[in-house]
């Protein structure tokens, strides 16, 4: 159990640094008028999780030992959007289309609403 936690922590640290450097680099090249960095890590992280899901043979099995380091750690630190994308795909693969759509749009909509609510609460508490 503790080795798995170390793998997640190391992978997460590397992923977070990758996310930061991607954001800073793209802001310098393309400007900061649009969240190019966030868009890039969300799309690239989703692509990488798809590739690794196939290469690792799913989330368990012989290569499942890499999922904590790479899938949960690195990609979780890089972008949690990758996990969201994989969860949507898995629901569609299971034929749970309505649930997949509700999850896809619900996650996006509720997350934006929660962010707005958090901003409102923080502003109210600041006086």
pTM tops 0.85, yes or no: no
Give the side-chain half-sphere CA count within 13 A for 13: 5
Q: Residue 37 in contact with residue 21, Cβ under 8 Å? A: no
CA neighbor of 14 nearest in space, from 3, 2, 6? 6
SS3 content of the chain, % helix, strand, coil (to 5): 85, 0, 15
Name, in order, each residue with C-beta under 8 angstroms of 79's C-beta and a sequence gap of 6 or more: 15, 19, 41, 42, 44, 45, 46
pLDDT at 121: 92
Which whole number is the average pLDDT over 108-124?
Answer: 91
Dihedral angle of Cα 99, 83, 25, 55, to the nearest 10 degrees: -120
pLDDT, tens only, 69-82: 998 999 999 997 88
pLDDT at 115: 85
CA distances to 70, 72, 87, 107 from 15, rounded to whole Å, are 9, 10, 20, 22
């Amino acid at each position: 159990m503790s080795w798995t936690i170390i793998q997640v922590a190391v992978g997460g640290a590397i992923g977070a640094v990758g996310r930061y450097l991607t954001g800073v680099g793209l802001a310098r090249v393309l400007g900061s008028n649009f969240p190019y960095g966030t868009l890039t890590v969300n799309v690239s992280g989703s692509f990488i999780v798809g590739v690794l899901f196939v290469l690792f043979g799913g989330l368990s099995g012989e290569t499942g030992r890499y999922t904590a380091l790479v899938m949960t750690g690195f990609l979780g630190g890089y972008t949690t959007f990758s996990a969201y994308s994989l969860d949507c795909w898995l629901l569609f693969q299971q034929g749970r289309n309505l649930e997949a759509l509700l999850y896809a749009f619900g996650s996006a909509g509720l997350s934006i609403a929660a962010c707005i609510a958090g901003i409102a609460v923080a502003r109210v508490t600041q006086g």
